[in-house]
Amino acid sequence: MTALLAQASAFGSVTLYHYLFVSAALFALGVIGFLSRRNLIIMFLCTELMFQGAGLALIAFGRHWMNPTGQVFVIFVLTIAAAEAALALGLVVYLYRRKSTLDAQAWAELAG
């Protein structure tokens, strides 16, 4: 029982700044991965990582201010991320069938 209480007090020391730091780190890793990679699937996953970082920040602010608006907005962000995933998957399949590569430079050749 005392171990459970010690664990609960350890989680009580986590502040808004801890969540914002993790959120910023997720977003920064997503940006770095998106800008440094040429594989479309990796770029897509990095975009999802940026969405998750932004969602974590929204949830943290909503919890900090005891306002459910942040959590509700995250539902909309997740909906947009799901739509983006469906669209990106279709485009990646189309590109791979047409060019047999997942290199981002192949998109520039399709532009015309």
State the pTM of this model: 0.79
What pLDDT was estimated at residue 6?
55
Looking at residue 21, its amino acid is: F
Domains present along the chain, CATH in parentheses: 15-110 (1.10.287.3510)
Q: What percent of the chain has pLDDT over 70?
A: 86
Q: Is the pLDDT of residue 107 over 80?
A: no
Mean pLDDT, rounded, for 19-35: 97
**Banded pLDDT at 95 (limits 50, 70, 90):** confident
Q: What does the buried/exposed string (b/e) look like for 36-47 if buried means 16 or more CB atoms within 10 Å of the residue's CB?
A: eeeebeebbbbb
**Banded pLDDT at 78 (limits 50, 70, 90):** very high
Average pLDDT of every residue of the chain: 86
Q: What is the DSSP string of 30-66?
A: HHHHHHH--BHHHHHHHHHHHHHHHHHHHHHHHHHTT
d(CA 4, CA 77): 35
d(CA 40, CA 108): 13
